[in-house]
Amino acid sequence: MGAINGSLSYKIFYVDGEVQDDWKEQYIDRIRSNCFEPLSPDDDDEISEGWVPIDRPLQPEFDLYTVLFDHFLNLGFRQDRYSIPSALLKAHVAEAEREYMIQNDKEKLSKFERDDIKAIVKAELKAKQLPKMKVTDMSWDLRAGRVRFWSQSNKACETFQGYFQDTFGLKILPANPYINALQMEMDGETLEDLQGLEPTNFISGLE
């Protein structure tokens, strides 16, 4: 959320590279290839990531009209994750192991049996819940070569950078004083000074 409504806090990235002339058809195909796919309780994966329309995160269908607004390419980056509390999983696995040993007249289980029981129990618990869904908006200004991503989380931004490059074949660089100076084509001495700057927290100690 954020591009259409919600938080105004976003991170800016600069696109490293040029958009090709045939980008429209090419990008739509790539977005479709990297679109979000729902999780299934039977899957080994516990997380799924991919693109969704920015205003319809439950309908991963794309064409130019759903992603392009003037010269802005807009998408939602959806991440779904199953989250089973470890204590709950452990308790259910222990109970399933006890029942299995009673039914099969066993005093001890092999590693294979324990792993198999745990996988079955986990799938059963996943089937009883919906995965947690998170959608983060992205808006790419194709003319300016800037991308806004509505998250300040370092982990989320790193994941997004990799997914953006895999989809569009272009690297994106997070904005900072040095990268901003490069974009503004400042002189070499200024760039050298900026490259050595360290981040400073100006509100440390305030309550």
166 by DSSP, 3-state: which? helix
* pTM listed for this prediction: 0.75
Domain extents in the chain: 11-38+52-82+136-195, 86-127
Q: Is 191 exposed, middle or buried (0-12, 13-18, 19+ CB in 10 A)?
A: middle
- One digit per residue, the tens of pLDDT, for the chain of length 207 reads 565 665 568 899 999 988 888 899 899 999 999 999 999 888 888 899 999 999 999 988 899 989 999 999 999 999 999 988 899 999 999 999 999 899 999 889 999 999 999 989 988 898 888 899 999 999 999 999 999 999 989 999 999 999 999 999 999 998 854 444 445 444 455 445 545 555 554 444 444
Which runs of consecutive H residues, i.e. helices, occur in the chain?
23-33, 64-67, 86-103, 111-127, 154-168, 177-183, 188-195
Decide: 197 and 177 in contact? Cβ < 8 Å. Answer: yes
List, in sequence order, every residue forming a beta bridge with 15; answer none if it has no partner: 172
- Closest CA relative to residue 74, chosen from 19, 150, 134: 150
